[in-house]
Structure 1
């Protein structure tokens, strides 16, 4: 499964129609969740049937395509099944939270600010040139032009399983989920590598190569803070107290601030994507740390730097490209990889500020990150052939590409460059 993304161009009336479709999808999603809460012994197909009841009761819900309504119900069911596991009507004692399963697993919550609406196989039609898409439901979206470098003519229409309209700070986008095999045959590179992720260097490998951390957020922090102050000055507490809408100037400043954050996010994502592609193309086996980024950012002294580094994004792309090009990616436990000596194996305790590894047992001296990368490679090589490709036994994160993520981000959208 791959996801292609295009920017859509239309008139202001069409954009408002997209917003109305997104609000309707959010309404149906919340209604289905409430229906499940009131009747706990319901299944996935019961929520799909409930969409027809909502369409008969609310005229604006009937304007949305029937399969788009079912897609909204499936979002609710996805949140329910993530909490309870494969059997969504089981007791909360058997929930994924109790099992301490990885990933999103909290109790399903009502949505307040949805940014996308998803269509299945009906309700839309591509033009002959496949440079425009027409939505045929009663919301009045109409025909939208597609702006992008991808060519949908390579794929059969039946291969397009989902179409999603996404609202972002800089406009509206259309995402196409295409059911194709992403695997590509490649020649062996005859190289293996261990990678240590850090803050001083983004990555350091066992050969002594390092890649500096770009720190995109730090570079744009002054501009972001200035835009945030301008936004705050236009915020009216009196309007909020009277439950009135904020001024147009406030919403303009809010959009400018959001676009700056979006630019930083895209810079980080593109950097991680290019670096992961380079690492995968140069090696047959890549060993890296299985970091708990969500737990690491709880450190208030390092939270900003860790979030700015984008370790999890890099890991997602590394595993995706590893799957695509048939390379082995191994996630190893990070415990004591920086403390142990890669030469003799003895533990040498050092603080985070100590950047050079000096072993008093064998007199081995190396950069802290390079020493850790050698230990990571050793762990990775000892794992392969015993417990499988992934040391933790988890599914690789490229699997998220099989369905579009709920916040409108497309994880495996490859750039044309």
Structure 2
């Protein structure tokens, strides 16, 4: 059986003394990260080779003898910092390779950090989870709000401080995957939008999160308040924290909205087709960049994939090209301006809301790619690994059969 990876996030309340210890360890983590990055650069200049994670860990052991302050941090947390540096280099070389292949990506050589806001314990012998407390090595027992039980084998723990000075712990687990059983409900296509969050192929319209004018005005006032404070002053730091807290409040409203929408969709449909959008390219249009970022389309589609299988649903992404310009009835392709909200086919005369028309095309495109004889599995983020039941088996799902990973 395959293992499903998931994570549980909880609000933590460290004491004043524990906050001081955590801040101290994060400062030392930042210093170590920058030292490792400098060491990697000099090693490459001398040898022409990349400093491996194993060699970094050996160097950390020597460094702790020269600088005893690094011994204040648990050894596995220090090793995780070397992993971060190693991963930064791997991603840099991967982007360089993609750039040579003609992809429009920025290589982005690893940079020195100004701060580190989280600590990661990669193995369970560095922490112990109790009912309402978590014991972290060299920090102590920290209170946290245990609002749901942890299911599965615990793998790693991360403690993080947000810009608003709030603390969270995230616990990663692995648990045995369950056989997939379809919920037997209808199939749907989704067209994501800006004026309205999404249009479904059955004429249902999903609305955006309700952010009032007062909330937007208050957010702007907090930003203006920051600009009036002297840089580096304690008043400016307080103003930045106030703005960060309010920004997180707005973010939670949006996250709550897309969580509710994704829950409703995966529980109401057995097959969901959505657009595979290139969001990074879309936000280059400064006219719509703010609205696109606020819509959190990427988070929404990730939530769909994550929740779909456990709800007996299949979520499938399709190429969105020409879906807004194609007649869902006769297949005629014609140009249509962004301001034109109704699609009127020049060939067959069909008239329909442009977003609903696009959603129907998205569903058709997904169903056209389905073959009842399709075998194997396609990639998914729903279960945290590379295996999921293929969208081509959707017909079998609706018949009530089960899919068992083996």
The reply to whether TM is greater than 0.5 is: yes
Task: Call closer, same or farther: CA 1:32–1:217 in 2, change over 3 Å.
Answer: farther
Contact persistence 2:182–2:313 (CA under 8 A): no
- From 374, 384, 396, the equivalent of 2:380 is 396
Q: Residue 392 of structure 2 corresponds to which residue in structure 1?
A: none
Contact 2:6 2:383 in 1 (8 A): no
2:295 matched to which residue of 1?
A: 309
Distance 1:384 1:32 in 2: 49
**Separation in 2, partners of 1:389, 1:286:** 20
1:16 match: 20
Q: Cα–Cα, structure 1 residues 235 and 109, in superposed 2: closer, same or farther, change >3 Å?
A: same
Q: Does residue 252 of the first structure (1) align with residue 252 of the second (2)?
A: no
User: Structure 1 residue aligned with 2:113, among 103, 111, 114?
Assistant: 111
**Is the contact between residue 182 and residue 324 of structure 1 (CA under 8 Å) also seen in structure 2?**
no
Within 5 A, what are the aligned runs for 1:375-386? 375-385=361-371
Give the deviation of 1:38 after TM superposition: 2.2
Shift of 1:39: 2.2
Where 2:175 maps in the other structure, the secondary structure is coil
CA distance in 1 between counterparts of 2:16 and 2:385 reads 31
CA contact (8 A) 1:191 1:283 kept: yes
**Which residue number corresponds to residue 360 of structure 2?**
374
Displacement of 1:297? 0.8
Shift of 1:218: 6.5
Post-superposition shift, 1:217?
Answer: 8.3
User: Residue 202 of structure 1 contacts residue 211 of structure 1 at CA under 8 Å; is this kept in 2?
Assistant: yes
Residue 186 (structure 1) shift: 4.7
Coordinate RMSD, CA, aligned: 2.8
1:22/1:117 contact within 8 Å kept: yes
- 1:397 Cα deviation after fit: 3.9
Contact between 1:71 and 1:120, CA under 8 Å: does it hold in 2? yes
Deviations 1:338-367 (A, max 9, x none): 011111111121110100001121010000
Aligned partners of 1:317 and 1:247: how far apart in 2? 40
* Count of equivalent residues: 375
Question: Is 1:348 matched with 2:343?
Answer: no
Change (3 A) 1:105 1:176: farther
- Partners of 1:386 and 1:72 lie apart in 2 by 47
SS in 1 for 2:272: strand
CA contact (8 A) 2:183 2:311 kept: no
- In the aligned structure 1, how far is the partner of 2:315 from the partner of 2:193? 19
SS in 1 for 2:157: strand
Question: Among 231, 234, 237, which residue is 2:229 paired with?
Answer: 234
* CA distance in 1: counterparts of 2:385 and 2:29, whole angstroms: 22
Counterparts in 2 of 1:197 and 1:373: CA distance versus 1, 3 Å: same
Would you say 1:263 and 2:258 are equivalent positions?
A: no
On the 8 A contact 2:318/2:362 being kept in 1, the answer is yes
Q: Does 1:166 align with 2:150?
A: no
Unaligned runs of 5+ in 1: 86-91, 237-245, 403-417
Structure 1 residues 90-120: Cα deviation after superposition (integer angstroms, max 9, x where no partner):
xx86x23334679996432222232101112
Kindly report which structure 2 residues correspond to 1:95-244, keeping only aligned pairs within 5 A, or say none. 95-99=97-101, 106-121=108-123, 122-127=125-130, 130-137=131-138, 141-152=139-150, 155=152, 159-168=153-162, 169-181=164-176, 183=178, 185-214=180-209, 216=211, 220-236=215-231
Partner of 2:82: 73
Q: Give the Cα separation in 2 of the matches to 1:186 and 1:286.
A: 15
Between the aligned partners of 1:61 and 1:123, the Cα distance in structure 2 is: 16
- Give the corresponding residue for 1:45: 54
- Normalised by the size of structure 2, how large is the TM-score? 0.84
Structure-2 separation of matches of 1:125 and 1:69: 18
Deviates more, 1:215-224 or 1:44-53: 215-224
State the 1:228 CA deviation. Answer: 1.1
User: CA offsets per residue over residues 319-350 of structure 1, 9 Å max, x none?
Assistant: 11124445322211111100111111111211
Change (3 A) 1:126 1:80: same
Q: CA deviation at 1:388?
A: 7.4
For 2:17 and 2:375, the matched residues in 1 are separated by 51
